[in-house]
Amino acid sequence: MIHLILGPDRLLARDSARALASELDPTGTNTTWLDGRETTPERVISAAGTISFFGAAPVVVVADLLARYGKQAEDDDSGSGGTPRKRETSPLATIAAAVPEAHHLILLEPSLTSTPAALKLAKPPARVIANEPPRGPALVGWIVDTASRVGSTIDRRTAQRLAETLFPQTWDRKPSNPRYDRPPDMALLTLEIEKLALAAHPGPITPETLAVLTSGSPDQRVFRFLDAALAGDLRTAYLELERLEAAGEEPAMLLAQLLGQIELSNVIATASGRDANAVARDLGAIAPSRVSAVMNSTRRLPRGRLAPATTGAAIDRALKTGRTRRPIDALHDALLALARDA
């Protein structure tokens, strides 16, 4: 049988592969690990088809095989002009067809998030294990558990602050546009927790420890840009925009954040001083932390200074209808419009 372990998170995928191999072969005596970037299809087929001396089914774990053969498999499925080619030319199809049903081939592919066609057509079909990183309360719980595992403690409020600092835009939910999704990196998060646990030993990890040892500077630039833009401060907004572009931020994502900030600011302005948790609950898909951040930004604006929702709607409409060609041009139009409204 073929087991396909997908990403997008590399740490969770590796942990899944180790756990599955241990479940199938508790002693580890019949388990073989291969590097898919160096091994051959013949070697994989040979290892997966060999019966051990004691008659137990072999367990073969191959990492990153599709990193080497995945593109070839796509080319084999369809030639130029959409003409199908013979599937037997695909190394993946050959391997899938050669693995005995009673034996176990584990394909560890953390760089993939979907099943290749050759494995979808395998008989029996490959068992797929996805490894999406947790978000929201599940991510906070994971941080608390990991801190305990490395010999420390962290309360849930501090754990949430750590998640917000490292992954401020995506720690609690996926963005509506997958292109801009930067999911939590669990390996990075583990290293950060281990560092904080060592620094805080023998005490718990505290917000003060986070403030000293965990950097949130790149995302603070985003917040400075948004605050300056909403306040109509062109000089600061353009300075922060230049820094963000130099750091590799995409104008389309910055525009989406600015338009979202305008929209939320207008909605929250009608909340009449209500608690952030209550407002987030009424809005539905918005996290309390995001609502609280927008509330703080709105309070810092001069009295009566709030960009009208029609400003953001006009900018968005111009981009979607083609009157504005590029996201960066729409972003410049938004900054000028906000400055005029100031």
Q: In the Cβ-directed half-sphere of 19, how many Cα atoms lie within 13 Å?
A: 9
Q: Give the whole-angstrom CA distance, residue 107 versus residue 58.
A: 14
- Name the residue with tokens 């929250």: 268
Could you tell me which residues are beta bridge partners of residue 5?
Answer: 108, 129
CATH number for position 247? 1.20.272.10
Domain check: are 124 and 189 in the same one?
no
Q: What pTM was estimated for this model as a whole?
A: 0.61
In the prediction, which pLDDT does 307 show? 62
Same domain, 6 and 61: yes
Least confident of 19-23, 57-61, 122-126, 300-304: 300-304
Tokens of 227: 């605050």
Do 81 and 26 have their domain in common? yes
Tell me, what's the pLDDT at 73?
Answer: 46
Q: Are residues 264 and 163 in the same domain?
A: no
pLDDT digits (tens, 9 = 90+) for 286-306: 666 667 767 766 665 655 555
Q: Which of 131, 159, 192 corresponds to the end of one domain?
A: 131
Query: Considering 112, 131, 150, which residue would you say is the last residue of a domain?
Result: 131
Mean pLDDT of 315-341: 89
Render pLDDT for 11-56 as a digit per residue (tens, 0 to 9). 999 999 999 999 999 988 889 999 988 888 899 999 988 876 666 7
Confidence of residue 87 (pLDDT cuts 50, 70, 90): very low
Domain holding 96, by residue range, is 2-131
Residue 304, in any domain of the structure: yes
Does residue 341 carry a pLDDT above 70? no
Residues contacting residue 145 through CB under 8 Å, at least 6 positions apart = none
Minimum mean pLDDT range among 6-10, 12-16, 82-86, 92-96: 82-86
C-alpha distances out from residue 156 to 162, 163, 337, 341, Å: 10, 10, 41, 41
**CA–CA distance, 127 with 142 (Å, rounded to integer):** 25
Residue-level pLDDT at 121 = 78
Tell me if residue 9 falls in helix, strand or coil: coil
In this prediction, residues 55-81 reach a mean pLDDT of: 68
The residue from 91, 106, 131 where one domain ends is 131
Does residue 213 belong to any structural domain of this protein? no
Q: 7 with 123, same domain?
A: yes
Express each pLDDT in 233-278 by its tens digit.
888 889 888 888 876 778 888 888 888 888 887 777 776 667 767 7
Is the pLDDT confidence value at 143 over 50? yes
Give yes or no for residue 124 having a pLDDT over 50: yes
pLDDT at 86 over 50: no
Mean pLDDT of all residues in 134-161: 95
Same structural domain, 17 and 122: yes
For residue 160, what pLDDT is reported?
92
